[in-house]
Structure 1
Amino acid sequence: MRQQDDIRHSRRRSGAPSAGDLGWDDGLYDDARRPPHPRSGDHDDTGEPGGPGEDSGEISGGGPKRPRRRTLRWIAIGLAVLVLVTAGGGYLYYQYLNGNLRTGERSASDSGLTAPGPNAQGDTPLNILVLGSDSRNSDANLELGGSRDSVGQKPLADVQMLLHISADRSNASMISIPRDTRVDIPECTDADTGKTYPETNGLINTTLGRGGPGCTLATWEKLTGVYIHHWVTVDFAGVVAMADAVGGVEVCVEHNVWDRPLPGAGGGSGLKLTAGTHEIKGETALQWLRTRHAFHSDIGRAKAQHMYLNSMLRKLKSQNVFTDTGRLLDLAESATKALTVSNEIGSVKDLYNVGIQFKNVPTDRVTMATMPTVQDPSNPNHLLPGEEASHVWAMLRDDVPLDGNGEKADEKGDDGKAPGAGASEGPEAQPASAIPVRVLNGTGSDGEPAVDGRAGSVTQQLQAAGFGQAATVATPQPQADTTLTYPESGGAQSRADALSVAKELRVPEDAVKASSQVQSVTLVVGDDWREGTSYEAPDAGSVPDSADPLNASDDSGTCMPVYEPYRW
């Protein structure tokens, strides 16, 4: 440990070499500085070439011997950093950082979802669940205002956000669910204790105590239909340490705010600021992220968290903090101590492989939002997923950008609707009258009741279009997304037949897949198509206003309003 401390502290002394001298990557956001050709056979854990294996630390031949560049870059996502961090200093320091990380099982339940397959370009989206724990089970957390009465109790996941990075890595989004939202929670088994918790209906923040982060992840998958690859958690003390290491983030309030106990309303974060803009860090940053009453509700708190994260992202993208050796080591050490992560990303190398996916996303392609909710009629203090929540989840499942700032992938047709499946090489489809089509009702998977007669209405539409062998299957098959499958044994001809059905209904081609489980073209009308005569995939930027979207490029001085009782 003494040797590890010497490695760290020697870099903070006056006259220490620059990051470039140490072989660190000063051009973190400049692809031109990356090695152009990774060694043959090197792959990171995501299956992409390159990664940390490019920098082995071997001694180069010719001239003075010196270490080759070593790049250990990673991301602490969500409340922790939303930033790539480059760290170096040899094998001992790498091992030291690895030793800081804590890990756990990815999932505590089988949601039945599988990881999304690659698109036509061979790319896949990446989904990471970010959790903020309210645990007081440490002296550091108690010093930050935690109640000693809660020591030993199961923690609650009071902050929950899903980070989605698009398959082409051009855009990203982060969706929050308020902690007091009531949802269906699946059966979960705690990987540490072996205890199994039965399925129930309850508040989503209780899932952390019913099998750890893996149960929270399984609950999100059940609710959204989105496969989640990893989770990351951070507690109160970790947020403070990360905020100190980052060096302060700018926030704004419309009025003087003091989030404190009031008659009839206990608690409060202690946040006290004058109206206007402030740069906050440390405990004040934690207070900002925890403030609920003064920002009116959990929904207001989520918006304040989104403002903070967007501001942090703008700051770290606008200035190259990675040439400051001392700050760089502080960031690396603070983040690895602050985080608990799922096993698949349980090392600095693995975190690098995840973090590099976020590296080149510009700020105007990053959008924060909150799941649309409605008040729970059985308890006015609780929430339920709103009607437009399914649209938000469909955008993530279909990998549709929440922002409208990118290039349009498809032009609109003359009728203003997105085109359906396009033509592809291979045999022509049979006449519509010769194609048997089975239609099933898949609505009712997103917590809403199934749409009665939905399969029948689509069947009638197909029959009217000449698909005389279209027939409704009475057995419901609830699922989030509309799918169109064809017999795998039928090969190219069956695919051509299925594409002709897709074109008639304007179903996108990526929803048409081969299956060994069907005997004829089979359409399941999912929860993403509950009405209308043609399927329309969500448009880029179509996130509903009820999700309160906030783009990371919006630095126009947006300020949080303050609930009147908490003004001073």
Structure 2
Amino acid sequence: MTQSSVHGEGTRPGGVRRTRGAGAGGPDEDGSGADGGHGAGAGSGGRAGRRHRALRWSATTLAVLILGTAGAGYLYYQHLNGNIEKGERSSGDSKARRTGPNAAGQTPLNILLIGSDSRASAANVALGGGKNHRDNPPLGDVQMLIHLAADRKSAAVVSVPRDTRVDIPECTDPQTGKKYPATNTIINESLSRGGAGCTLATWQNLTGVYIDHWMTIDFAGVVQMADAVGGVEVCVNQNVWDRPLPGVPGGSGLKMKAGRHKVQGEQALQWLRTRHAWGSDPLRARAQHMYMNSMIRTLKQQNVFTDTGRLMDLAEAATKSLTVSEEIGTVKKLYDLGMQLKTVPTDRITMTTLPTVEDPQDRNHLLPAGADAEKVWAMLRDDVSFDDKGGDGTGGDGKVSGGGSGSSSSEKEPDEPSGDSAAADSEIGVLVRNATRSATLGPVAGRAGTVAQALVRQGFTRAATDTSAALSEERTVVRYPSAELAGDARRVAEALGIPENSVKESADVSAVTVVVGADWRTGTTYPEQETPEAGSLPEDADALNGSDTGKCMDVYAPYRW
């Protein structure tokens, strides 16, 4: 898309002080690094005992080294655990479910990375300004979903520009217990309405993708990480100075000459925050993708896992910089996560930005771009690689590795058909719910009634319209409340042409319920869904390959010098 103006500029408040979540460490930590037996004398244990203790001590030391403690032992490992702040994984109302395994038993991994504009600390105020707004809720100005393919051979990153208007669900702040009603506003406000868990729920509802974990980083954290890696190379085609101009306040302060430069510390933060000088929020996402790709290449070139000093610096910076969802809130779990990401070659990493269009309600805001945006989400849900070097998410059997039908993580696939068959069609009670509203289109009036009448004509005489308010779900699903109704739900799905993998048990319904999603806006037979091909990203997704070192940012003319 062509960007001719700076989207979403305005003065925003700062952030509240973050509070530490669950205590350091966790019940899963084995504490084996505290083994002191290696110093025992040559008494009753004998040579075999000493050898056993030596091997055990060596294994423990190696594990500690790998985890980034660089031989400082168990106490330093616990110190790193104590650095990590944690929070609730999801604090909002979301119906997304985990993707099922492919034929090889593999499942994808999805991580939401959030850059907070919090001014909660003196360091953040110094770097980000806004000291008069220090106690205001933080906003999630950078939001990226990292998708690691089920086979761990490729990774995709999708950024949603901060000023994109979306549905934010009802959320509860896990720290205060305050409930925030559902609303429709720009996505960066989700962080202030229940923390990162609310942002995660917002993304799940927007995409239909189950998100395993979230991580947040603030201004000071960006500076620490950039320093720890020794700087990251970036490139501009013209001299750039992102500064206030008449009628356009703000600016990151980034000033550099045309060409390639290694940025670290505050200058790295300026690069990531720059928006005016690039011309739009989507172009800021492109600059952030260039930075991330460059950092990944830098880390791979440095081979930090063989450099004890660099590894210590990175471990300290990372654990101090990140707040993470509680289920990955230990050094060991973060390390295991990093090892999965490390396996992906740089030329199989694809950075993208969600295709968007100008919001007709506010030209400074954006909306997801209809079919192009949905295609990106479909590729993630079906684990189809963003590049053309991989497969289609089938695991080799031609069947997609589990659809994101937008159902709850508490929902489960129906049991295999058994002797408990469906009742007669005329005896099956069915409710039909209208959930056709999407991010860009309103609900289709009367849609539930149309589908209910189609069922009645097929003999489901107890089919009726659910009178609940119109909802929003990306994909159509049939839900049922308990196992004895699984056969009835499958029979209803069959009658409408809805695939069996979209039939789910759910505590959210009291009867067999057809939820007509945004993918079924017309007709009385569910349309066949096409699986996108590998590498078939929309052109306006602005894809950038991780191994591409030749890209430079163009500078918007008013910010050249």
Interval containing the TM-score (normalised by the shorter chain): 0.7 to 0.9
Which position in structure 1 is the counterpart of 2:87?
104
The one-letter code sitting in structure 1 at the alignment partner of 2:534 is: A
Structure 1 pair 193/525, CA: closer, same or farther in 2 (3 Å)? closer
1:62 CA displacement: 5.1
User: 5 Å matches for 1:316-465?
Assistant: 316-387=299-370, 388-408=372-392, 443-446=436-439, 448-450=441-443
Structure 1 pair 436/125, CA: closer, same or farther in 2 (3 Å)? farther
Moved more, 84-93 or 276-285: 84-93
| 1:299 to 2:282 alignment | yes
Equivalent in 206, 212, 231 of residue 189 of structure 2: 206
Which position in structure 1 is the counterpart of 2:19?
none
1:111 CA displacement: 1.7
8 Å CA contact retained: 1:173, 1:368: yes
User: 5 Å matches for 1:14-413?
Assistant: 61=49, 63=51, 65=54, 66-69=57-60, 70-71=62-63, 87-387=70-370, 388-408=372-392
The one-letter code sitting in structure 1 at the alignment partner of 2:388 is: G
Equivalent in 544, 553, 556 of residue 560 of structure 1: 553
Which position in structure 2 is the counterpart of 1:32?
none
Which position in structure 2 is the counterpart of 1:35?
none
Report the Cα distance in structure 1 between the residues aligned to 2:395 and 2:499, rounded to whole angstroms.
Answer: 13
C-alpha distance after superposition, 1:63-102 (max 9, x if no partner): 483432443599xxxxxxxxx9675421100011011111
C-alpha distance after superposition, 1:458-497 (max 9, x if no partner): 99999xxxx9879997658853234578996699x99999
1:204 CA displacement: 1.7
| 1:539 to 2:522 alignment | no
Moved more, 377-386 or 478-487: 478-487
Structure 1 pair 54/541, CA: closer, same or farther in 2 (3 Å)? farther
| 1:527 to 2:522 alignment | no
C-alpha distance after superposition, 1:368-422 (max 9, x if no partner): 111221112222111122212222222222222222211456699xxxx99x99x
The one-letter code sitting in structure 1 at the alignment partner of 2:558 is: P
Q: What's the secondary structure of 1:238's corresponding residue?
A: helix
8 Å CA contact retained: 1:173, 1:366: yes
Report the Cα distance in structure 2 between the residues aligned to 1:564 and 1:178, rounded to whole angstroms.
Answer: 22
Structure 1 length-normalised TM = 0.73
1:150 CA displacement: 2.2
8 Å CA contact retained: 1:440, 1:473: no
Report the Cα distance in structure 1 between the residues aligned to 2:494 and 2:113, rounded to whole angstroms.
Answer: 41
Gaps of 5+ in 2: 1-25, 39-48, 404-415
| 1:551 to 2:535 alignment | no
8 Å CA contact retained: 2:490, 2:500: no
1:183 CA displacement: 2.0
Number of aligned pairs? 495
1:317 CA displacement: 2.2
RMSD of aligned alpha carbons = 4.3
8 Å CA contact retained: 1:446, 1:480: no
Report the Cα distance in structure 2 between the residues aligned to 1:107 and 1:325, rounded to whole angstroms.
Answer: 36
C-alpha distance after superposition, 1:248-304 (max 9, x if no partner): 111111111111111111111111111111121111111100001001111111110
The one-letter code sitting in structure 1 at the alignment partner of 2:390 is: G
8 Å CA contact retained: 2:153, 2:344: yes
| Identity value in percent | 56
Report the Cα distance in structure 1 between the residues aligned to 2:319 and 2:251, rounded to whole angstroms.
Answer: 29
8 Å CA contact retained: 1:55, 1:68: no
Structure 2 length-normalised TM = 0.74
8 Å CA contact retained: 1:135, 1:141: yes
1:549 CA displacement: 1.7
Report the Cα distance in structure 2 between the residues aligned to 1:288 and 1:444, rounded to whole angstroms.
Answer: 37
8 Å CA contact retained: 1:73, 1:348: no
Q: What's the secondary structure of 1:144's corresponding residue?
A: helix
1:364 CA displacement: 2.2
Gaps of 5+ in 1: 1-44, 46-50, 75-83
Which position in structure 2 is the counterpart of 1:27?
none
Moved more, 87-96 or 292-301: 87-96
The one-letter code sitting in structure 1 at the alignment partner of 2:121 is: S
Structure 1 pair 254/469, CA: closer, same or farther in 2 (3 Å)? farther
The one-letter code sitting in structure 2 at the alignment partner of 1:67 is: S
Which position in structure 1 is the counterpart of 2:17?
none
1:565 CA displacement: 0.4
Report the Cα distance in structure 1 between the residues aligned to 2:73 and 2:106, rounded to whole angstroms.
Answer: 33
8 Å CA contact retained: 1:495, 1:514: no
Q: What's the secondary structure of 1:562's corresponding residue?
A: coil
